[in-house]
């Protein structure tokens, strides 16, 4: 059954796939879906494009499914693929027992899911269009939305969903264009190929992207020293073997109920609920608090080794935290007072990211082996990184002055968190008063619908899915969060279509 909505999906990465799959599973489907994206790697985004098999997903398969309510969807896809190809590679991490397939393989899954969703929609009567151009403007005209592509071709829509992906790495040291500086390491198989086997490499950053760089260089036989350099030197934590236990206190349902009645929660109340969850599992807040307090203080390599040794540890506290924060964090965040959100980001951003985005134990083992052989160091307190007049680079940090042949940029996107390819669109929305930039990045959106927020009003026609909503929602990373928000947006689109009158005397809409 069709419902009267022409949906435009602006961007064709992982978030768009989550939305397409959600729309295609509904009893009622939109009358048309148009996807706008100029990328050569449609449906994969920046993260899952064809690249080295060294790069693995960092979450278990149940956290990578695009199908709402079906955590085994990706696992079944992997199993079916193995049967068709007649080969079976489980990609299981020996230490944790978790499967971490290559990210390029996950990109294959995204592609197939997108095609299947579009085929389901088309088979049931929805008109499908794929426009291989970027949208640079969205305007309200005669009661409809009009999306303008780069050549100023207009496309009439009823709803637009901005799925524009993540921004490029920031360049805090202003080195873009300098010989030997790699501004963006992806795809690593191509961008890192020119690094000499014995070159001394500085990797700016210490998150998952920096880990990817070290893994790829190691796999390629690099024998020079690698220095991971950042302000605090906080590495991603190490993912522990999962615990089979349903959360009872720190649940999305509880926090959504608070939001539904217009309630708020203080950080102390949230911590208390987490304490109850940990106590119920036989752990406690003390061990978790100790882990949080040590972040950025403990020697990075010592912390990595300790966490690696705890992959099968008896205390379930960190396991529960690694599961609860990414799963439930998106529902907790909007309930906190603004001053507490600001304080958390100011004082604990790297800690949250470290705990929310852990690395597989096999990745930790590679880093530890390299560090043990004197081929990897983590430098904290980076003050500046400059190009030397005679070539190469000079790093000044807590360990003193060091030189390097190559610098690989692996920092997070800039504070604006607007991808370069979407900047014209965001600028246009702001100029038209349809969007307001958020001081923490991206644009303001409403928690319940992910609709744009401007002048205190929630837009019922323009929604945001993904990193562009990070200022308001923060927890926009991770496929589970994308799937949850995709469901919210699909619900909002259905509700708006139900309340919008449609004139049918001559088949023309009165929207």
Report the distance separating Cα 390 and Cα 131, nearest Å.
Answer: 48
Report the distance separating Cα 136 and Cα 110, nearest Å.
Answer: 25
Say whether both 352 and 369 belong to one domain.
no
Do the domain assignments include residue 176? Answer: no
Where in the sequence is the domain holding 68, given as residue range(s)? 56-101
Say whether both 137 and 34 belong to one domain.
yes
Quote the number of domains for the chain. 4
The sheet carrying 181-182 orders its strands as 181-182, 406-409, 201-204, 226-229, 376-379
Q: Can you tell me which residue has the tokens 């069709």?
A: 2
Say whether both 271 and 345 belong to one domain.
yes
Which residues 6+ apart lie within 8 Å of 235 measured at CB?
Answer: 206, 207, 211, 228, 300, 303, 304, 354, 359, 367, 378
Question: And the tokens for 373?
Answer: 């052989």
Do the domain assignments include residue 506? Answer: no
Say whether both 324 and 284 belong to one domain.
yes
Do the domain assignments include residue 438? Answer: no
Do the domain assignments include residue 505? Answer: no
pTM, full prediction? 0.92
Task: For the chain, 511 residues long, give each residue's pLDDT as a single digit of tens.
Answer: 888 899 999 999 999 999 999 999 999 999 999 999 999 899 998 889 999 999 999 999 999 999 999 999 999 999 999 888 877 677 899 999 899 999 999 999 999 999 999 999 999 999 999 999 999 999 999 888 999 999 999 999 999 999 999 888 889 999 999 999 999 999 999 999 999 999 999 999 999 999 999 999 999 999 999 999 998 899 999 999 887 788 889 998 899 899 889 899 999 999 999 999 999 988 988 888 888 888 888 999 999 999 999 998 888 888 888 778 777 888 898 899 999 998 888 888 888 888 888 999 999 999 999 999 999 999 999 989 999 999 999 999 888 898 999 999 999 887 778 998 999 999 999 999 999 999 989 999 998 899 999 998 999 999 999 999 999 988 887 899 999 999 999 999 999 988 876 543 333 443 3
CATH code, 469: 3.50.50.60
What stretches of 330-472 adopt beta strand conformation (E)?
Answer: 376-379, 384-387, 393-397, 400-404, 406-409, 451-454, 457-464
Say whether both 340 and 382 belong to one domain.
no
Say whether both 86 and 152 belong to one domain.
no
Say whether both 39 and 120 belong to one domain.
yes
Say whether both 301 and 262 belong to one domain.
yes
Do the domain assignments include residue 260? Answer: yes
Do the domain assignments include residue 199? Answer: yes
Q: Strands 159-162 and 144-149, how do they pair?
A: unpaired
């Amino acid at each position: 059954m069709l419902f009267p909505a022409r949906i435009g999906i602006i961007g064709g990465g992982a978030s768009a796939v989550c939305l397409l799959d959600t729309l295609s599973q509904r009893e009622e489907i939109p009358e048309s879906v148009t996807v706008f994206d100029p990328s050569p790697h449609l449906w994969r985004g920046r993260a899952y494009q064809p690249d080295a098999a060294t790069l693995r997903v960092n979450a278990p398969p149940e956290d990578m499914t695009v199908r709402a309510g079906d955590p085994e969807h990706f696992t079944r896809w992997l199993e079916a693929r193995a049967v068709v190809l007649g080969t079976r590679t489980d990609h299981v991490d020996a230490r944790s027992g978790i499967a971490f397939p290559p990210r390029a393989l996950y990109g294959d899954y995204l592609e197939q899911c997108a095609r299947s969703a579009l085929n389901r929609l088309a088979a049931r009567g929805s008109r499908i269009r794929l426009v291989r151009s970027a949208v640079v403007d969205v305007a309200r005209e005669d009661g409809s939305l009009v999306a303008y592509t780069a050549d100023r071709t207009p496309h009439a829509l009823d709803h637009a969903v901005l799925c524009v992906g993540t921004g490029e790495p920031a360049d805090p040291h202003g080195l873009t264009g300098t010989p030997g500086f790699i501004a963006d390491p992806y795809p690593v198989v191509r961008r890192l190929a020119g690094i000499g086997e014995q070159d001394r490499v500085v990797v700016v950053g210490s998150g998952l992207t920096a880990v990817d760089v070290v893994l790829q260089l190691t796999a390629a036989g690099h024998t020079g020293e690698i220095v991971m350099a950042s302000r605090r030197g906080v590495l991603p934590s190490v993912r522990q073997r999962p615990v089979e236990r349903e959360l009872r206190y720190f649940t999305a349902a509880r926090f959504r109920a608070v939001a539904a009645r217009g309630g708020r929660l203080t950080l102390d109340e949230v911590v208390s609920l987490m304490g109850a969850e940990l106590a119920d599992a036989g752990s406690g807040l003390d061990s978790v608090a100790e882990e949080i307090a040590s972040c950025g203080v403990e020697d990075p390599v010592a912390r990595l080794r300790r966490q690696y040794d705890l992959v099968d540890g008896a205390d379930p506290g960190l396991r529960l935290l690694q599961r609860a924060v990414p799963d439930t964090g998106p529902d907790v965040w909007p309930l906190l007072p603004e001053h507490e959100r600001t304080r958390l980001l100011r004082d604990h951003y790297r800690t949250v990211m470290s705990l929310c985005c852990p690395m597989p134990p096999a990745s930790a083992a590679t880093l530890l082996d390299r560090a043990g052989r004197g081929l990897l160091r983590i430098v904290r307190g980076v003050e500046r990184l400059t190009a030397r007049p005679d070539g190469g680079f000079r790093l000044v940090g807590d360990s003193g002055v060091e030189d390097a042949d190559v610098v690989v940029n692996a920092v997070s996107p800039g504070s604006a968190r607007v991808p370069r390819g979407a900047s014209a669109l965001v600028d246009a929305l702001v100029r038209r008063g349809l969007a307001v930039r958020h001081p923490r990045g991206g644009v303001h959106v409403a928690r319940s619908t992910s609709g744009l927020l401007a002048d205190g009003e929630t837009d019922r026609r323009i929604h945001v899915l993904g990193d562009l909503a990070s200022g308001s929602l923060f927890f926009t990373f991770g496929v589970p969060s994308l799937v949850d928000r995709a469901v919210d947006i699909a619900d909002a689109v259905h509700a708006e279509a139900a309340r919008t009158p449609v004139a049918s005397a001559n088949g023309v809409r009165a929207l």
